Amino acid sequence: MASCKSSIALNLTDRVGSSHPPRVSGEIHVIIGPMFAGKTTSLLRRIRSERNNGRNVAMIKSSKDTRYAIDSVVTHDGVKFPCWALPDLTSFRHNVGEDAYEKLDVIGIDEAQFFEDLYDFCCKAADNDGKTVILSGLDGDYLRKSFGSVLDIIPLADTVTKLTARCEVCGKKAFFTFRKTAATQTELIGGADLYMPVCRQHYVNGQTVVETSRIVLESTSVRHQTTQLSCLEAATAAAA
């Protein structure tokens, strides 16, 4: 954060007495919420809207996220958008090239909680470089504690959108992410196999959630086995 503040101070000092007009400042928009709240879908919708309006856009995601594709941001519904998969945001400018970076109007960042340099990058991109930054990420981990630097961006943001999912136990609004496994590391990348969105009541009543998850998984397994058996019986009958 200190480096961002220093760059701003230097930038202001350089402008004193300069005949050059200052660069137009950018914007920062934050989309947060639990898993399965549609954060990536909302991000892609806004990025596509910006592109359709004639603005140059680029999408970034963490190289840690290889769930659906390596070089694309993918929603849980399978919607894709090409992206730069990077270990950090600082390397983006070098990777995309100086000329291409200068021509960019909008930068999208998915799964922003995985980038340790998120604050400095967003601050410089919007304040100094005039970029519009739209990012999506988890506001909390499975313990309902701050995840990465996403919440640090809120004081910088022009807008903050908090999305909700649907509780998989009762169907009410879900604000939290429940981890189905006993793993305790903060970063455990996965989808519906590891996580489910829940309301406050069913987050607190975690055992109820675990039991519901077990029943759902067993039911799914039984249906799968029944389908396989039916197909086998049909194939046997046809062969006879």
**pLDDT tens profile 45-84:** 999 999 999 999 999 998 887 777 778 888 877 778 989 9
Do both 52 and 129 map to the same domain? Answer: yes
Find the CATH number of the domain harbouring 237. 3.30.60.20
Average pLDDT over residues 130-158: 95
**Active site positions, annotated:** 111
Extended strands (E) in 87-158: 106-110, 132-138
Residue 142 CA: distances (Å) to CA of 11, 26, 52, 160, 187: 40, 33, 36, 21, 10
Note whether 156 and 175 are same-domain residues: no
Whole domain around residue 73: which residue ranges? 24-163
Looking at 163, 179, 210, which one is the last position of a domain?
A: 163
pLDDT greater than 80 at residue 27: yes
Whose CA is closest to 188, among 67, 43, 37?
67
* Minimum mean pLDDT range among 8-17, 136-145, 157-166, 214-223: 8-17
Asked if residue 152 has pLDDT above 60, the reply is: yes
DSSP state for residue 208 in the 8-state scheme = H
The answer to whether 84 and 95 are in contact (CB under 8 A) is yes
Look at residue 3 and tell me if it is in a domain.
Answer: no
Note the pLDDT tens digit of each residue in 173-230.
999 999 988 888 887 877 777 889 999 999 998 766 666 666 766 676 656 555 555 6
The pLDDT score that the predictor gives to residue 19 is 47
Q: For residues 114 and 67, is the Cβ–Cβ distance under 8 A? A: no
Which tokens sit at 72? 């694309």
Residue keyed to tokens 């340099």: 117
